Structure 1
Amino acid sequence: MAESKNNIITHGLSGKVGDIIVFSQRGSKTIVSKAPKERTGEPTEKQKKHIAKFQEATIYAKAALQEATTNDIYEKGAKPEKNISAYNVAVADMLGAPKIEEIDLSQYKGKKGDTISVKVTDDFKVVAVKVIIENADGTLVEEGNAKISTNGLDWIYTTTKENDDLTGDKITIQATDLPDNLTEKEQIL
């Protein structure tokens, strides 16, 4: 892909020239790229899923930018100098779910006030991390939202109940981002 800088002939050009090149505008730049080939045949199931996911992301981005709060959040993430608009940021955010990188259960001994630390990343912003603690038989011990630590990566959950027998207990972590993409990870004690 070529980029035209301060060219008075191509400045503002947009569209396809024959079957060879395409001019497009991104911010204040004119981009010149190879013309895409015509698609032949039916898309595969994987391609259909990808197309559907991208359509969902564009619908989400358009709706998110209509809301004042989410528009402001995505505008702050935009990088006009790199031609990345708030719309681009919102589409990318919808396409990528949070990643639960690490669950640290070393401080959880079954006592009220113990902590569980979870490292969660996202391409834009993690908005909530929920911790669910269940006994080996599936009965709920407790659940609640973790709080973000000062480093911006770790989420800390402070337990509220006593749990006498940790053997076989299941800890479930649920992380969500701004478009409500949900990632879940379990760990057995």
Structure 2
Amino acid sequence: MAKSTNNVVMKGVSGTIGKMLVFRNIAGDKTIVARRPKQSKKPLSDSQIDVRYRFTEAAYYAKSAISNPVLKEEYQAKAKPGQSAYNVAFADYLKAPELRRVMADEYSGQIGDTLAFRIIDNFKLQSVNVRILDENNDVIEQGAAVPLDNGLDWQYTATVTNPTVLGTNLEVTAKDTPGNVVTFNNIISS
């Protein structure tokens, strides 16, 4: 694969030459020259079909996101050199939030006790909701967590007394900008 940067002759060239070479423009002023890809004759597996659908959905989301000027600006601000807002939006759709850490040391089942959750997303989270369930999975309380100033953690403050903390299930639901919703469960065991 050859790369061309700021080449007067190649600037803006895209497409194929014969059935051999492909020219592609990427973010900025780079042109990539590569061999023309060959299409496989093997039938696609179910997981490959799922990936194709997911990529198609990501492309639709990214196109929609960059048509919103505010969202486009936010994605562009997050873009690294050589990336576009479209690339960042596309990746954001494909990556769901991840729970990294539950900090329940401050929670003893009393009103006003806090629970903190470190949830990572490659762009930003829109909301984090918490449900506190007893060992029979009955809801003790639920509500929205708030982001902390460190930009990593979300905190929930208890509003109901919980007499049996051990065995309590903390159900955390995180939603990111493209609408990926992930629910995590964590049982308090000590």
Q: Normalized against structure 2, the TM-score is what?
A: 0.91
The Cα shift of 1:117 comes to 0.9
Kindly provide the amino acid, as one letter, of the partner of residue 65 in structure 1. I
- The residue number in structure 1 matching 2:153 is 154
Tell me, in whole angstroms, the C-alpha distance in 2 between the residues paired with 1:12 and 1:117.
Answer: 50
The match for 2:15 is 15
Counterpart secondary structure, 1:186:
strand
Three-state SS of the structure 2 residue aligned to 1:59 is: helix
Whole-angstrom CA distance in 2 between matches of 1:6 and 1:66: 28
Give the match for residue 103 of structure 1.
102
Q: Is the 8 A contact 2:6 2:29 kept in 1?
A: no
Shift in Å at residue 39 of structure 1? 2.0
| Unaligned residue ranges in structure 1 (runs of 5+) | none
Cα drift, residue 15 of structure 1: 1.1
SS at match of 1:112: coil
Q: Deviations over 1:20-63 (max 9, x none)?
A: 32111123221222321222122111110000000011111122
Identical counterparts, % of pairs: 37
* Residue of structure 2 in register with 1:5 after alignment: 5
Give the equivalent residue in structure 1 for 2:71: 70
Q: Deviation string for 1:98-149 (max 9, x for gaps)?
A: 1100111111100011111111111111221111101112221111111111
Report matched runs for 1:48-63 at 5 Å.
48-63=49-64
For 1:17-32, list aligned pairs within 5 A: 17-26=17-26, 27-32=28-33
Shift of the alpha carbon at 1:89? Answer: 0.9
Are the structure 2 counterparts of residues 5 and 70 from structure 1 closer, same or farther at C-alpha, using a change threshold of 3 Å? Answer: closer
Number of equivalenced pairs? 187
Secondary structure (helix, strand or coil) at the match of 2:178 reads coil
Structure 1 residues 41, 124: closer, same or farther in 2, change over 3 A? same
Alpha-carbon distance between aligned partners in 1 of 2:139 and 2:183, rounded to the nearest angstrom: 17
Distance (Å, rounded) in 2 between the aligned partners of 1:6 and 1:86: 22
Query: Are the equivalent residues in 2 in contact too, given 1:134–1:142 (CA < 8 A)?
Result: yes
Match of 1:130 in 2: 129
1:100 and 1:183 in contact (8 A); partners too: no
Checking the alignment, whether the CA contact within 8 Å between 2:141 and 2:160 is kept in structure 1 is: yes
Q: Aligned equivalents of 2:143 and 2:184: distance in 1?
A: 15
Tell which deviates more after alignment, 47-56 or 58-67.
58-67
Distance 1:142 1:33 in 2: 58
Structure 2: gaps spanning 5 or more residues:
none
